[in-house]
Amino acid sequence: MDYAALFSAGLHIFSLWPLLSLLAGVTLGLVVGSIPGLNDTITLAVLVPITFAMPSDIAFPLLVGVYCSACFGGAFPAILLKIPGTASSVLTAVDGHAMVQKGQAGLALGIATYSSAFAGVISALVLMFFAPVLAEYALNFGPAEYFSLSILGLSTVIGMAAGNAMKSALSCLLGLLVAMIGMSPESGFPRFTFGSFWLFDGLPLTPILIGLFGLSVVFEMMAKPAHETAHAAAPKTPIRFADMLLSGQMIKRLMPTWLSAAALGNLVGILPGAGMLVAIYMAYERVRRRFGTQCGQGLPEGVAAPEAANNSVVASSMVPLLSLGIPGNSTSALFLGALLIQGLRPGPSLFNDSPDVAYLIVGSFLVANILMFPIGLLLARLVPNLINQIPQSLLAAAIACLCFTGAFAISNSLFGILVALAFGLLGFLFNRMHVPLSPFILALVLAPVIERAYFQSMSISGGSISYFFTQPLSLTMLIFTILFMLWPLYKRLHRRLPSQQAA
Amino acid sequence: MTFKRLSTALVALAASSALYAADYPTRNINYVVPFAAGGAVDFTGRLIADAAPEFFDGKKFIVKNMPGGGAVIGQTYVSAAPADGYTLLATTSSIINNAMTKQVEYNLDSFTPLALFNLDPEVIVTSGKSDVKTLDDFLQAAKSGNVSIATPGNATSHHIAALSLAQKEDLSFRYVHNASAAMQLQQIMGNHVQAGFMSLGEAIGLVSDGNLHILAVLDSSRSQLAPNIPTFEEQTGRSMQWGTFRGIAAPAGLPDEVAESLEKRLGELLTSPKFIARMKDSGYQVNYRDADAFEAYLNNTAEQMKQVLPLLDTSS
């Protein structure tokens, strides 16, 4: 660890231009994150070529700022309108919007801000001090481990709908079914494509999310009589700063949730290809097991856990990139491009060869997460009051516009809009029948990972199932899966026994 | 008097519309990338777009990502676009194997090749920690069917490279297909598989740190990027060449003036020192070939693919 380089990079961030570009990045990230359909990947794809002409101490703070704050930006529409701005805030919408309906909009936004900044800072510190160690650990994850991790992730859908396992299972199975559309990862055989090339790579995730969460809300607004919708979406009373600042008591209450969610986010985040969704679902599952049916009713922990988890995934996804040269997801792949443009090769030697830039990047992650706090609070103070001034009918139209634009932009085609419309209807029906959406999303995302990892393991082991049980890490995760699945059963028995004794 | 002025204006207008094609370009040009934002094709496309205004009279290249169907969506779009020089396609080998393996509405003849700007030879890599240290070890092990190979996806150029080698050398590999090059790297560097096929450009940066070891370059001569790494031919005496390429094409049937203008301007852009320097900084070599040479290269690759494609079993 080169403390001198770290210290000088730290000082350098606080000079005028790097700090300004970091600020610009954080603000831009919050804006694109809060618009459904726009996200960090698409923003960075546009920005990276522009950074050619910039010196590295302006380019990287800008990019890091966008990357850090985009997934926090997604929390704003998730909480206020129940429309996640990014995929990373799909779970924030559940308890976040329930809090708004209870009149706790300020508190919900405050919790999201505190959680994101806190977990972001922790994972930036992890990136700074433990990157090489963690990268080695990430390499231990082979096909068997990915398989077991995904099964573990999928097991969290058990009981996701409070007390309605059947509906959760239905949602999960539908997700698995939709995930089957497209080319088989093993043989390349097209499944359920009906000869259409649009379906060849499977249905695109972003238009599905836009439909399920965005358009379904628009349909909901359309279905309600005008006088009801007047109260539907955002809080009526203006939000004051005082509403958003958390009391010491609340901070103390949320601290365990923050720490466990940040730990989960860091561990899952460093695995290339494992993804943000697994982290937020596992973090939320922990909360759900602790609070049971209170979840989904506007529980502060229900906002804190996913928001803390998603922001800690951001910095930790840079661990394999900076210390091994493997981009952890599509966004950090763009960072790889940005690094190369500046003449830098990510890998173990990066911190020795160009410590100034390497530490500038990890330092930027730290400072970006700190800056996010005041900027986030400021936006949280302004945005809801702005939304309130828009008549509900116009708001629905505006949301529909944003949804269609976002769905179109993914592949520059009408196909995205059709997918969004179809899933908008499905989401509307799900909501009407009180079928939870989250198992659907999780199954949709994990099914291809499970299938691929299964075939990979079979190919490596020569077709032996025991491969999953002979790898210690994989075995551990499978045992946890079984425990997770039996937990509700155990709890029910446990509850029944004392009551029987009492009788 | 007024009439005379009007008629002069009309004549001028008629003349200018006749010159329309020669005036190319009069507006911005769409550069269609048939992949999602963030990959190598998208990235090099954005490098080209960044340099374009200087060579296209101030007109811009607008990079349009049209992913889907294993690049079929974007390729179909360009093949059906008006042949006026305002729609270009970022062209990769997928244009050839898509036309051969999938029921698409286009083939090589649906496009006008304009320029090739990047050739990346294939390499065989192992983990730095692997027991397989030499090409000989690798070939020996693969004969007995004990070598697992990570690919970035079924039917990708790298998968086909492995199939082709297996066919030529009578080897049998166990294929481990991934969804991305990053996951492929993870499995090779984590020593979960014995080896992998990828392009030199992807591998070279990871060699100096000892995380990856290149067994052989599948090219006729050593690469300038890695002069110390021997070719397959040097080590075995048998020829084996494979690689990925990146080029630019337009829909077929371009007016001659437009085709000439495009070819000339693209040639100037792709060989300009500034563009070459930027490509080099980003880890890509510029290997410029003009339209005719690119067309010959495409046809040659198509021939090579035809021999391997029957091995791609997509029926199960």
Question: Which residues of chain A lie closer than 8 angstroms to B153, CB-CB?
Answer: 185
pLDDT higher than threshold 90 for residue B11:
no
Among A210, A230, A327, which Cα is nearest to A274's? A327
User: Among A250-259, A481-490, B127-136, where is mean pLDDT lowest?
Assistant: A481-490
B312 and A188 in contact by Cβ < 8 A?
A: yes
B residues 35-94 closer than 8 Å to A (CB): 36-39, 42-43, 46-47, 49-50, 64-70, 72-73, 76
User: Among A61-70, A105-114, B38-47, where is mean pLDDT lowest?
Assistant: B38-47
Q: What pLDDT band is residue B316 in, cutting at 50, 70 and 90?
A: very low
Instruction: State the pLDDT at residue B4.
Output: 52
pLDDT higher than threshold 60 for residue A167:
yes
Closest Cα in chain A, distance from residue B162 (Å): 15
Instruction: State the pLDDT at residue A277.
Output: 86
**What does the domain layout of chain B look like in residue ranges?**
25-119+244-311, 121-243
What is the rounded distance in angstroms from the CA atom of residue A317 to the CA atom of residue A126?
11
Closest Cα in chain B, distance from residue A326 (Å): 6
B182 and A326 in contact by Cβ < 8 A?
A: yes
In tens, the pLDDT along A227-249 reads 555 444 555 667 778 888 888 89
In tens, the pLDDT along A135-156 reads 888 888 899 999 999 998 888 7
Residues A347, A353, A354, A356, CA torsion sign? positive
CATH class of B121-243: alpha beta
The partner residue sitting opposite A197, judged by closest CB among B43, B49, B69, is B69
Q: Could you tell me if A211 lies within 8 Å of chain B, comparing CB atoms?
A: no
Chain B interface, mutation test: which of A139, A141, A345, most B Cβ atoms within 10 Å? A139
Closest Cα in chain A, distance from residue B17 (Å): 31
Q: Are strands B243-251 and B87-91 parallel, antiparallel or unpaired?
A: antiparallel
A347 and B43 in contact by Cβ < 8 A?
A: no
Locate B236 and state its tokens.
């075995």
Helical H runs in B19-110? Answer: 40-55, 72-80, 94-101
- With a pLDDT cut of 70, the percent of chain A lying above it is 94
Burial of A382 (0-12, 13-18, 19+ CB in 10 A): exposed
Is the model more confident about A227 or about A223?
Answer: A223
The partner residue sitting opposite A345, judged by closest CB among B179, B186, B205, is B205
**What does the domain layout of chain A look like in residue ranges?**
3-491
Q: Could you tell me if B175 lies within 8 Å of chain A, comparing CB atoms?
A: yes
On whether the CB atoms of residues B34 and B71 are closer than 8 A, the answer is: yes
Instruction: State the pLDDT at residue B313.
Output: 61
**What three-state secondary structure class fits B186?**
helix
Q: Could you tell me if A132 lies within 8 Å of chain B, comparing CB atoms?
A: no
Q: What pLDDT band is residue B18 in, cutting at 50, 70 and 90?
A: very low
Q: Which residues pair with B120 in a beta bridge?
A: B244
Chain A interface, mutation test: which of B32, B42, B175, B176, most A Cβ atoms within 10 Å? B176
Residue in this structure with the two tokens 């309906």, named with its chain if needed: A101
What is the rounded distance in angstroms from the CA atom of residue B268 to the CA atom of residue A483?
65
What distances in angstroms separate CA A74 from CA A65, A82, A87, A116, B88, one per listed residue? 15, 11, 8, 11, 35
Among A499, A95, A496, which Cα is nearest to A294's? A95
Fold agreement (B25-119+244-311, B121-243): yes
> Residue type for A252, please?
K
* Residue in chain A nearest B129 by alpha carbon: A139
What average pLDDT does the segment B32-59 reach? 87
On whether the CB atoms of residues B184 and B198 are closer than 8 A, the answer is: yes
> Residue type for A173, please?
L
Task: Cis check for the bond before B25: say yes or no (omega within 30 of 0).
Answer: yes
Q: Could you tell me if A487 lies within 8 Å of chain B, comparing CB atoms?
A: no
Q: Supply φ then ψ for residue B132, to 5 degrees.
A: -80, 105
Q: Could you tell me if A3 lies within 8 Å of chain B, comparing CB atoms?
A: no
Is the model more confident about A301 or about B4?
Answer: A301
Return all residues near A266 (Cβ < 8 A) that are at least 6 apart: A122, A123, A126, A134, A312, A313, A316
What average pLDDT does the segment A35-47 reach? 81
Q: Could you tell me if B153 lies within 8 Å of chain A, comparing CB atoms?
A: yes
Question: Which residues of chain B lie closer than 8 angstroms to A450, CB-CB?
Answer: none
**What three-state secondary structure class fits B245?**
strand
Residue in this structure with the two tokens 């460093």, named with its chain if needed: A270
On whether the CB atoms of residues A111 and A236 are closer than 8 A, the answer is: no
Q: What pLDDT band is residue B65 in, cutting at 50, 70 and 90?
A: confident
In tens, the pLDDT along A321-347 reads 888 888 878 788 788 878 877 777 787
What is the rounded distance in angstroms from the CA atom of residue A469 to the CA atom of residue A465?
8
Q: Residue A468 belongs to what H/E stretch?
A: helix A467-470
* Residue in chain B nearest A457 by alpha carbon: B176
B70 and A183 in contact by Cβ < 8 A?
A: yes
* Residue in chain B nearest A320 by alpha carbon: B186
What is the rounded distance in angstroms from the CA atom of residue A116 to the CA atom of residue A72?
6
Instruction: State the pLDDT at residue A249.
Output: 92
The partner residue sitting opposite A273, judged by closest CB among B38, B50, B180, is B180
A45 and B37 in contact by Cβ < 8 A?
A: yes
In tens, the pLDDT along A361-417 reads 999 999 999 999 999 999 888 888 887 788 878 888 888 998 898 888 877 889 999
Chain B interface, mutation test: which of A318, A322, A329, A459, most B Cβ atoms within 10 Å? A459
**What three-state secondary structure class fits B65?**
strand
Q: What pLDDT band is residue A46 in, cutting at 50, 70 and 90?
A: confident
Quote the Cα angle for B70-B72-B78, to 5°. Answer: 140
Count the Cβ atoms, other than its own, within 10 Å of residue A57: 18
Q: What pLDDT band is residue B103 in, cutting at 50, 70 and 90?
A: confident
pLDDT higher than threshold 60 for residue B1:
no
Domain spanning B25-119+244-311, CATH architecture: 3-Layer(aba) Sandwich (3.40)
Count the Cβ atoms, other than its own, within 10 Å of residue A390: 14
What is the rounded distance in angstroms from the CA atom of residue A61 to the CA atom of residue A68?
10
Q: Which long-range contacts (CB under 8 A, 24 or more apart) does B62-66 make?
A: B62/B28, B62/B29, B62/B30, B62/B31, B63/B31, B63/B33, B64/A412, B64/B30, B64/B31, B64/B32, B64/B33, B65/A45, B65/A411, B65/A412, B65/B33, B65/B35, B65/B36, B65/B37, B66/A411, B66/A412, B66/A413, B66/B32, B66/B33, B66/B34
B148 and A200 in contact by Cβ < 8 A?
A: no
